[in-house]
């Protein structure tokens, strides 16, 4: 089986601008994820907002099977034309994994069609994620629940479409709940939103988190790539109703006026 | 009860440019719909692509409860900033009814996040719509099925999200099938896609079609309008886990390196 | 508009056998609900397990628009033939509201096809119900969340079908989460499962609880009653493929053996 | 990887009682399916209604990974206790593939909770199945559509839950449509309903049909087997609200009466 070509995209600003964050993620969140996910069946590339074309040239997009997305404070700086290309590629089959504050990214709002709004609080509180889809490939080797010692709170109501299959529901120490792991399909592509991963806490070093993201990469692998089209298509069966009634005749019959 | 403020938007090009179409819809598709839907509980306005701001000024959008959308050959001419405002208003509660070739409109692609591609054929063939949701408000007074004598074929695979509740499945004489009536919810707004209505056939004079669109207008009426927000929110319960473990300590435990 | 004929069914054992429970519900849970829900548009009847035919004679079932169900320790004593009749009537259009420990009732397991298993704990802990469907008729007049001071914990994983529309997700003080309000449709009937209501706590006197159950009664009102059938149905279109290929001929072509 | 233990259950009456059917399926429908599905990764057993315990002893059920079900005229003769055991095993993880007239089997009605009613007609007409889920494992190697030259018509409205993922929609020559391939999940088990397979036509020799059923067997393979339980579970977090307000006190505050 061919390797999965995984591109990990990171806004990569907090880690360069904030020394506290830099201590947690000295190589960036994308770097930490790349180390944590490294495996024989994956071919991993990194990309960041401030790279040329955000590191997402046409060649990179065309050769990516699964794209991981982490963004936070600079969603607005992501170029619309590149978002458009990513969206098209997702519809053609590319997998997309959106992490944490990526809920407000252009690409996630675009694939969901929703505002993706939610409640939030940064209080270093404990989050407990309940696994409600124990047979799903993304929850493989995850038990009934697991905890993150300190995490930013994301709380309901989370404005997402209801076709999302809910894999995790989180219980926050401060009193909120959240659908923290949800899958979608758009076109031929699979999408996974996963809430954990605030930049101030070392969440992406935690074993369960890496297990889940790794599972999601394999799950989101394209079955195939195929361009979307709207083909004119010949009739398969004989059409006999053509011209049996002229259009104007029908119009007269229905609205009763003479033309 | 207050009247429903309905705005019927039409591209309104075919009817002005093609004499054959003009014979069918002398007042435009929007005009025909306005006549067919007129009722005491509706306050109807018309809007068209070539009106200033496409007839969709901020005031019009802000005072519309339900928006009907018919577009075909000029989707690309619809201004992005206006699409953005419509999208925001749908998320805030405005109902949206997308007709026929509006499947490829910017607004429908935006609320679905899909390509909305499909197969098509213009052969004046008979379409039979099977009602598979007989209890739904939109199918009120519609029997098990009804037929349109001549309609453009739209065929599967229709690329839409799976959270759509399917109300109608169509059987086309030429051999295709189609999910021809589907509802969605996005934010606080309700959306109905309804396939019939090619400009070459007098579909919008047919009684069942007007009944269904009229039902949909009442169904899509906003429960309320509310702006989407992402509020920072205080804890409801006491948080005790703060600072119990320093971030760097956790980091060291997990990746094994000394900081 | 005709009144909604509401039948409130209660196992009615705890209240007669346990003095502590009797103090909370001196007239039974069904009696308390009847008082709390009383309104001009409702015609309310009570029924209990130990009534003849469980209070659910053919006449009662046939004249019930919406049935509320509370059961706990005696699910096994409910007669299968009566469950069968209730199920049939739900499929024909009767609304069904299943409360709390009714998750394990024969009728709820039958309409869901699932085990309906869950975790539980009786520790008088606080439950906070988050409203995640603010536009749904059942959450009318309910804010973002509300609390029950003392409730039995029901926790995930709750084994129910995924077609349930989730209205509430609960946060329990002891650390669990639960999909505590979920709707389903089966046949022509609407079903609402609502988790609150342990017999040891006066939950059914709380205003929000009564509001939600009352909303659900109106929501679950039948659109119509119609018997399910599997009719042989004549062809609508001409069938030309009959006898064009003899069955044995096709068989020979496919499996290659001579008959 | 261990072999998939597949049990193919057939009512096996038509083939023994009707010489015309016997010509098509001399070894029974289950025999034909066993030959058609035979593969290295499958361990296939046959079972029939008139075998002792319908061929479904506790040992057989306990050692079956995926169960295929074909029944028609004798649904009522299937023992309830065995249906109960099958249902329990599905909830624990066993895959279930229900074919054609099995839509009215006890087990399918039980897992769906619906009447599973539909329209039907036996006119040897052509059926065209449109593949609307091209990325799903069950449609692997199936193109946009395929045809069955002669098949019994099954038509909408098909009364099934809406959580079914729709894989195929059929176009019948005589004018009907049908959701002809639908998946469900119940407990830890996966379920696939597939409409083709009337006993009078050699449908189970057709390559696409065997491909789809074979795909479904692999898809429905259990991820694990696990008994459903409803465990009492200790609190994970400290509960402080206990006894802060006595039950009777709350009661008095809410209903205003003195006890």
Sign of dihedral through CA atoms B23, B27, B30, B33? negative
Select the residue from C159, C171, C182, C235 to test the A interface by mutation, using most A Cβ atoms within 10 A. C171
C176-201: average pLDDT: 97
- Enumerate the β-bridge partners of residue B99: B194
**Other CB atoms within 10 A of residue B145 CB:** 22
pLDDT over threshold 80, residue C11:
yes
Distance, in Å, from the CA atom of B87 to the CA atom of D4, rounded to the nearest integer, reads: 49
Question: Which helix H or strand E contains A191, and what residues bound it?
Answer: strand A189-194
Neighbour tally for D101: CB within 10 Å: 20
Task: Give the pLDDT score at D230.
Answer: 83
Residue D252 is predicted with a pLDDT of 30
Which residues in C lie closer than 8 A to residue A156 (C-beta atoms)? 130, 132, 169
C-alpha distances in angstroms, D70 versus C1, C33, C44, D99, D179?
47, 46, 45, 5, 18
In this structure, are residues A154 and A195 in contact, taking their beta carbons and an 8 Å threshold?
Answer: yes
pLDDT score of C241 more than 80: no
Largest separation between any pair of C-alpha atoms in chain A: 81
pLDDT tens digit sequence for A194-212: 999 999 999 999 999 999 9
CA distance linking residue C111 with residue C187, whole number of Å: 10
Q: Which of A165, A164, A181 is nearest to A128 (CA)?
A: A181
Q: Which residue has the higher pLDDT, C238 or A96?
A: A96
State the DSSP code for B256. -
* Intra-chain end-to-end CA distance of chain B, in Å: 67
- What pLDDT does A242 receive? 58
Q: How far apart are CA D107 and CA D105, in angstroms?
A: 5
pLDDT at B243 over 80: no
Which among B124, B162, B232 has the least Cβ separation from residue A185? B162
CA distance C90 to chain D (A): 9
Q: How far is residue B112's CA from residue B184's CA, in Å, rounded to a whole number?
A: 8
Element spanning B192, H or E: strand B189-194
Tokens of A219: 């799950």
CA distances in angstroms from B106 to B81, B82, B115, D206, listed in the order given = 11, 10, 10, 43
* Choice among A226-240, B87-101, B134-148 with the minimum mean pLDDT: A226-240
Q: By C-alpha distance, which of D219, D186, D207, D80 is closest to D141?
A: D207
Give the separation between CA B207 and CA B146, rounded to whole angstroms: 10
Residues 6+ apart with CB under 8 A from D217: D4, D6, D37, D42, D66, D68, D95, D97
Looking at A49-110, which runs of residues are DSSP E strands?
66-70, 95-99
The pLDDT > 90 percentage for chain C reads 87
Q: CA-nearest residue of chain C to A179?
A: C169
- CA B80: distance to chain centroid? 17
Q: pLDDT (tens digit, 9 = 90+) per residue, B28-73?
A: 999 999 999 999 999 999 999 999 999 999 999 999 999 999 999 9
pLDDT, residue C179, reads 98
Q: Cis ω on the peptide bond leading into residue B212 (within 30° of 0)?
A: no
- Spatial neighbors of D254 by CB under 8 A, at least 6 apart, are C202, C205, C206, C207
pLDDT range class, residue A192, cuts 50, 70, 90: very high
Contacts of A171 (CB under 8 A, 6+ apart): A127, A128, A130, A177, C171, C172, C175, C176, C177
Query: Is A128 within 8 Å of chain C by CB?
Result: yes
Q: How far is A70 from chain B (nearest CA, A)?
A: 18
Q: How far is C155 from chain A (nearest CA, A)?
A: 9
Give me the sheet containing D119-131, strands edge to edge.
D42-48, D4-10, D66-70, D95-99, D189-194, D177-186, D165-172, D119-131, D145-155
DSSP classification of residue A9: E
- Supply the pLDDT for residue B245: 42
pLDDT computed for residue A258 by the predictor: 33
B128, B157, B175 member nearest D132 (Cβ): B157
My answer on whether omega of the bond before C157 falls inside 30° of 0, hence cis, is: yes
- Tell me: the pLDDT tens digits for A127-161? 999 999 999 999 999 999 999 999 999 999 999 99
Q: What is the predicted pLDDT for the residue at C164?
A: 83
pLDDT score, position D231: 86
Q: What pLDDT score was predicted for residue B242?
A: 57
Indicate whether C171 pLDDT > 80: yes
From first CA to last CA, the distance across chain D in angstroms is: 67
Optimal mutation site among A125, A126, A128, A135, interface D, most CBs of chain D within 10 A:
A135
Q: What is the pLDDT of residue D1?
A: 81
Q: Which chain C positions have a beta carbon within 8 Å of D185's beta carbon?
A: 161-162
Interface B-D, measured as beta-carbon pairs within 8 A, has a size of 46
Q: What pLDDT is attached to residue A231?
A: 86
DSSP code, position B75: G
- Residue B132: closest CA among chain D residues belongs to which residue? D157
Rounded Cα–Cα distance for residues B69 and B11 (Å): 8
Q: Which residues of C touch A144 (CB under 8 A)?
A: 157
Q: What is the mean pLDDT of residues A112-135?
A: 96
Return the partners of chain C (3 or more C-beta pairs < 8 Å).
A, B, D
Q: Above pLDDT 70, what percent of chain A?
A: 93
- Residue B6 near residue B65, CB atoms below 8 Å: yes
Whole-number pLDDT of residue A4: 98
Q: Does A241 touch chain C (CB under 8 A)?
A: no
A84 touches chain D (CB under 8 A): no
* CATH code for the part of the protein at C4-220: 3.40.50.880
Question: For position C5, what pLDDT does the model report?
Answer: 98
In this prediction, residues B193-217 reach a mean pLDDT of 98
Q: Which of residues 5-44 of C touch D (CB under 8 A)?
A: 20, 23-24
pTM for the full model?
0.93
> According to the 3-state scheme, what is the secondary structure of B216-229?
HHHHHCCCCCCCCC
Residue B246, pLDDT above cutoff 50: no
* CA distances in angstroms from D113 to A131, C185, D103, D230, listed in the order given: 25, 10, 12, 21
Is D1 near chain A, with CB under 8 Å?
no
Q: Is the confidence at residue B91, as pLDDT, over 60?
A: yes
For the beta carbon of residue C247, count every other beta carbon within 10 angstroms.
Answer: 18
Contact list in D for residue A236 (CB cut-off 8 A) is 128
- Indicate the SS3 state at residue A148: strand
pLDDT of amino acid B248 = 36
| The predicted structure's pLDDT at residue B158 | 96
- The residue among D152, D200, D211, D183 whose CA lies nearest residue D24 is D200
Residue ranges covered by each domain of chain A: 4-220
Q: Does A224 touch chain D (CB under 8 A)?
A: yes
Number of cross-chain residue pairs from C and D with Cβ atoms under 8 Å apart: 199
Name the CA radius of gyration of chain A, rounded: 23
Closest CB to C157 among A132, A157, A165? A132
What does pLDDT average to in each consecutive run of 10 residues of chain D (259 residues)?
A: 96 97 97 98 98 98 98 97 98 98 98 96 96 97 96 96 93 97 97 97 98 98 92 89 45 31
Considering only the beta carbons, identify the residue of D202, D248, D250 that sits closest to C250.
D202
Indicate the residue of B165, B166, B175 with minimum beta-carbon distance to D171: B175
pLDDT value for B251: 32
Average pLDDT over residues A65-73: 98
Residue D104: both structure tokens together: 């009215």
Q: Are C43 and C5 in contact (CB under 8 A)?
A: yes
Confirm or reject contact between D122 and chain A (CB < 8 A).
no
DSSP chain C: -PPEEEEEEE---HHHH-HHHHHH-TTHHHHHHHHHH--TTEEEEEEETTSGGGG--HHHHHT-SEEEEE--TTGGGS-HHHHHHHHHHHHHT-EEEEEGGGGGSHHHHHHH-S----EEEEEEEEEEEEES-TTSGGGTT--SEEEEEEEEEEESPP---TTSEEEEEEEETTS-EEEEEEEEEETTEEEEEE----TTS-GGGSHHHHHHHHHHHHHHS-S--------B---SS----TTSS-HHHHHHHHH----
How far apart CA A101 and CA B51 sit, in angstroms, is 40
State residue B117's pLDDT score: 96
**Residue A86 pLDDT more than 70?**
yes
D151 Rama sector, left if φ>0, alpha if ψ -120 to 50, beta otherwise: beta
β-pairing, D119-131 vs D145-155, is antiparallel
- The strand pair at D95-99 and D66-70 is best described as parallel
Model confidence at B250, pLDDT cuts 50, 70, 90, reads: very low
Closest by CA to A156, choosing from B223, C166, B89, is C166
Label residue C240 by pLDDT band (50, 70, 90). Answer: confident
| pLDDT value at B89 more than 70 | yes
The answer to whether C135 contacts B224, with C-beta atoms less than 8 Å apart, is: yes
* Residue B253 DSSP SS3: helix
Predicted confidence at residue B259, as pLDDT, reads 30
Residues of C in contact with B190 (CB under 8 A): 135
Say yes or no: D257 contacts chain C, CB-CB below 8 A. Answer: no
Q: Which of residues 176-205 of A touch D (CB under 8 A)?
A: 185, 188, 190
Mutate to test the interface with A, among D127, D135, D222 (most CBs of A within 10 A): D135
Minimum-distance CB partner of D156 among B132, B157, B172:
B132
B169: closest chain D residue by CA: D177
Among chain C residues, CA nearest to D164: C163
The two structure tokens encoding residue A15 = 């880690």
Chains that contact D by 3+ CB pairs under 8 Å? A, B, C
Confidence of residue A246 (pLDDT cuts 50, 70, 90): very low
Question: Residue B119: which residues within 8 A CB-CB, separation 6 or more?
Answer: A230, A231, A232, A233, B153, B154, B155, B156, B157, B176
Q: Which chains touch A (3 or more CB pairs under 8 A)?
A: B, C, D
Average pLDDT over residues A39-62: 98
Give me the half-sphere count of Cα atoms (radius 13 Å) on the Cβ side of residue D227. Answer: 5
Contact C188 B237 (CB under 8 A): no
Q: Which residue of D has its CA nearest to A91?
A: D135
- Residue A163: per-residue pLDDT: 83
pLDDT band with cut points at 50, 70 and 90 for residue C158:
very high
Give the ipTM of the model, two decimals please.
Answer: 0.90
């Amino acid at each position: 089986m061919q390797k999965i070509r995984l591109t990990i995209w990171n806004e990569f600003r907090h880690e360069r601008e904030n020394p506290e964050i830099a201590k947690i993620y000295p190589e960036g969140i994308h770097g930490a994820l790349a180390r944590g996910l490294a495996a024989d069946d994956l071919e991993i590339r990194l990309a960041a907002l401030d790279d040329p074309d955000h590191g997402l040239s046409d060649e990179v997009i065309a050769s990516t099977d699964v794209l991981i997305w982490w963004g936070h404070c600079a969603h607005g700086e992501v170029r619309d034309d590149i978002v458009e290309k990513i969206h098209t590629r997702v519809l053609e089959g590319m997998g997309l994994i959106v992490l944490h504050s990526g809920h407000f990214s252009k690409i996630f709002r675009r694939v969901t069609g929703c505002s993706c709004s939610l409640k939030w609080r940064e209080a270093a509180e404990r989050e407990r994620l309940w696994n409600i889809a124990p047979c799903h490939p993304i929850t493989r080797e995850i038990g009934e629940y697991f905890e993150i010692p300190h995490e930013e709170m994301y709380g309901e109501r989370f404005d997402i479409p209801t076709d999302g299959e809910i894999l995790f529901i989180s219980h926050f120490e401060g009193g909120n709940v959240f659908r923290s792991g949800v899958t979608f399909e758009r076109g031929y592509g699979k999408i996974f939103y996963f809430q954990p991963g605030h930049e101030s806490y070392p969440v992406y070093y935690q074993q369960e988190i890496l297990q889940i993201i790794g599972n999601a990469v394999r799950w989101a692998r394209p079955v195939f790539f195929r361009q979307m089209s709207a083909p004119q298509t010949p009739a398969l069966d004989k059409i006999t109703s053509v011209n049996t009634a002229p259009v104007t005749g029908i119009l007269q019959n229905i609205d009763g006026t003479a033309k």
